[in-house]
Amino acid sequence: MINNRLTFERDSRFQLSTGLMTMLFLVTMAVNLFAQKPEGYIRYLRTGNWAKQMAAVDYMSKQQRDRMMYMWGNRSEYKSFANLWFSPSGSKYEDSEEKADRDDEGYNWRKEEYTIMRNFETQTVHEVEYILGKTYIIDDSLHYPNWKILNDMKEVAGHICMNAFYEDTLKMQKITAWYALDLPVSTGPERLGGLPGVILEIDINDGAMVITADKVELKPLTTELDLPKKVKGKKINESQYYGILKKHFDERRAAEEPPFWSIRY
């Protein structure tokens, strides 16, 4: 896949007219797809920048944050893939085992549980998350952030998207989401959803974490949305989940330590 994309980029000027045709075709096809069920698979590329993540923590001194950006700003990126399967009845989001940074090839960290399953028929969410050294199973009804709908449009992975904004005051994150107009399933990467279309791109704190769809395949799903194999963990609901996060963030704030060493950004 990477290779194909590269070839495309290299020859893109030459292939512009062909590319244009393809894209027109894709858009037409996307319109036609409304007639069929919007379901399929999306691979997201997650690009994090830990210097930017720490620089967005308001309680560390400006001098510390400036120094960190000066010494590490350009050299603190990490990359990984995640998978989303979606259909009008539900969605499942998981980290991928595929390596996004080829420098990481050949070394494997222990996989940390992270599964977000939404069921739109019962309006429930089922999550398995490794938080602060423990595995939790979170079951609750679907809740979404209060998105502000904005006016920008752009294209992500062949789909025209509009944007929305939300500020997570607990995690100190300013989140911009780009959702597809032609994929009317209210889901997205990580714990984000609740927009009229599938979220294809997320930008948190101006590049501290960018999650962008790099592959969208519309196809009928078979068993992809089935419940994953049983994982042991403590069962909690969403308000308990936020309670655990809040406790951690409050403690880190009191200690003036960066909070994201030990928790998923």
Partner 1 sequence: MRKLTSLALLILLSLPFLLSAQNPSKVTIKGVVRDSTNAEAGYATVMLLNIKDSTLVNFTTTNDKGVFSFNAVRNVPYLLKISHISYIPHQQALQPSATEVNDLGVIIMKPISQALMEVVIKAAKAPLRIRGDTIEYDATTFKVPPGSTVEDLLRRLPGIDVDADGNISTQGKDVKRVYVDGKTFFGDDPKSVTKNLDAEAISKVQVFDEKSEQTKLTGVDDGTKEKAMNLGLKDEYKKGSFGKATLAGGTSERWAARGNFNRFDEKNQLSFIGYGNNINQTGVNWEDYGEFKGQNTFNDYDNGDFGFGGGGRGYYIISDGGMFMGSDRRGYSESYGAGINYNFDNKKTKYNASYFYNQTSQTLDQYTSKKTFLTEGSVLNNDTLSQSSFYGNHSIGTRFEHDIDSNNKIIAKANIKFSSNTNSNYQVQRFTNEDISPINSLSTDNSTDLGSWSVGTAAIYRHRFLKAGRSFALSAGYNTSHNSTTDSLLSINQFFTATTFTEQIRQLKDRATDATEIKSSALYTEPITKKWYWETFYNFSLSGNEANRQVKSLPEETRIDSVSVYSDNSTLYNRLGSSIRYSNNGFNAMAGVAMQQLKLKGSYLQDLNLPFIDSVPEIRRTYNNWVPNVNINYQLPNNMYLSLNYSYNVDEPSVSDLAPVPNSSNRNFLIEGNPELKPWRSHSVSFSYNYWNPASFANISLYTSASFSEDQIVYNQWIKTVEGVGLQTITKPDNISEGKDLSVGLWSNLPIIKTKFSVGVDGNFNIGKSASYVNDIRNDNTNTGIDFGLNFDITPSTKFILDLRGNVGFNKISYSIQKEQDQNIQNHSAYASLKWQFVKKTFLESSFNYTVYINDRWDFDRRIPIWNASVRRIIGEKNRFEVRLAAFDIFNKRVSITQTATSNYVLQSVAPTLARYFMLSLSYNLRGYEDKLSKNRMMF
What part of residues 129-168 is at the interface with partner 1 (CB under 8 A)? 132-134, 146-155, 158, 160, 162, 164
- CA nearest 203: which of 157, 148, 259, 164? 164
* Shortest distance in whole angstroms from residue 88 CB to partner 1: 11
Q: Which of residues 63-122 bind partner 1 (CB under 8 A)?
A: 63-64, 66-68, 70-75, 99, 102-111
Torsion of Cα atoms, 41 then 82 then 118 then 176, to 10°: -100
Nearer Cβ to partner 1, position 28 or 237?
28
Nearer Cβ to partner 1, position 105 or 121?
105
Binding mask 27-66 for partner 1 (x = CB under 8 A): x--xx--xx------------------------xxxxx-x
Binding mask 207-246 for partner 1 (x = CB under 8 A): ----------------------------------------
Nearer Cβ to partner 1, position 58 or 222?
58
Nearer Cβ to partner 1, position 41 or 233?
233
Binding part of the chain for partner 1, among 4-12, 83-91, 168-176, 215-223 by CB under 8 A, reads: 4-12
Nearer Cβ to partner 1, position 127 or 203?
203
Is residue 188 involved in binding partner 1 (CB under 8 A)? Answer: no
Nearer Cβ to partner 1, position 151 or 222?
151
Among residues 23, 29, 170, 227, which is the contact residue for partner 1, using CB under 8 A? 23
Helix (H) or strand (E) holding 216: strand 209-218
Is residue 1 involved in binding partner 1 (CB under 8 A)? Answer: no
